[in-house]
Amino acid sequence: MSLSVYGTEIDSRLLIGTALYPSPAIMQQAVIASGAQVMTLSLKRQAPAEQGGQMIWQYLQQLADEHQIKLLPNTAGCKTANEAVTLAHMSRELFQTNWLKLEVIGDDYNLQPDPIELLKATKALIDDGFQILPYCTDDLVLCQRLYDLGCEVIMPWASPIGTGKGLMNPYNLATIRSRLPQATLIVDAGIGKPSDAVQALELGYDGVLLNSAVALASDPVAMAKAFSYAMQAGELAQQAGIMPERQTAQPSTPTLDTPFWHQT
């Protein structure tokens, strides 16, 4: 009933971002309401030398400490492996964690990961002792290679960041699930509403990472709570064994004069 991230068992299957909220106070309330126990944050948000940046990090660190939430620094905004590696090291020093959501953006339009630079950065950082959670496209071979490099967690996208389009290609996501049964798989990016998150778990995914869907809702705190229920719904549904889809209608009315318990 828990999500495994490099041997750490996490009770909630939701991972949440900390950007784009109307205010820090609403962000804090939303994170708590979501029940998430992993919170991503970007080192690029503020230059480390700048005081505002440090204040935010302290703020997030404090929020994490008070609510037993783990920090997952990310390399959002990096466009090359080298840049991501440099930022990763700064991040580890600052937040004292080997976990890293590795993002290496390859296109300014769809903000998708660059598969080549991602693999390069992953290899370098695993060699340096990081535990990588790579943000990647829904390309099975790319996921397989990340897994072979030592990624125990892999995070394919649902659709481009911030679009809220949900699961654009369920077939690809399902294929990755069935071909990498041992990996912890988290859908990252593109989730727009709770039904998308439920669908990801119903496909057998272990978790969902999102930001905009909560931060840009009219009421982020209520939406965060909605997602916390969605995760419970999806997790239970996946365990309970979803009925098979059928092509033709089947009466749920039992046949007349058949004992109840034999009616199908």
For the annotated catalytic residues, the residue numbers are: 101
- The smaller minimum CB distance to its own copies, of residues 34 and 37, is found at 34
Q: Which parts of 7-66 interact with its own copies (CB under 8 A)?
A: 17, 19-24, 42, 44-47, 50, 52, 56
Pick from 126, 131, 189: nearest CA to 157? 189
Nearest to 69 by CA among 37, 21, 28: 37
Using CB under 8 A, pick the residue from 6, 70, 112, 152 that binds its own copies: 112
165 touching its own copies, by CB under 8 A: yes
Q: Which stretch binds its own copies (CB under 8 A): 5-13, 63-71, 86-94, 256-264?
A: 256-264
Nearest CA to 58 among 31, 94, 99? 94
Q: Which of 67, 97, 144, 150 is close enough to bind its own copies by CB under 8 A?
A: 144
Instruction: Provide the H-helix boundaries in the chain.
Output: 24-34, 51-66, 81-95, 115-127, 140-149, 170-179, 194-202, 212-215, 220-240
Regarding 240 and contact with its own copies (CB under 8 A), the answer is: yes
Work out whether 150 is an interface residue with its own copies (CB under 8 A).
Answer: no
The tally of CA atoms less than 13 A away on the side-chain side of residue 176 is 32
Applying CB under 8 A, the span of 63-71, 82-90, 122-130, 164-172 interacting with its own copies comes to 164-172
Nearer to its own copies, 6 or 144 (CB): 144
For residue 149, the Cα-to-chain-centroid distance in whole angstroms is: 20
User: Minimum distance between the CB of residue 10 and its own copies, rounded to whole angstroms?
Assistant: 18
Contact (CB, 8 A) for 143 and 135: no
- Confirm or reject binding of residue 218 to its own copies (CB under 8 A): yes
Q: In terms of CB distance, is 89 or 165 closer to its own copies?
A: 165
* 3 state DSSP class of 131: strand
Residues at the binding site for 1-deoxy-D-xylulose 5-phosphate are 162, 189-190, 211-212
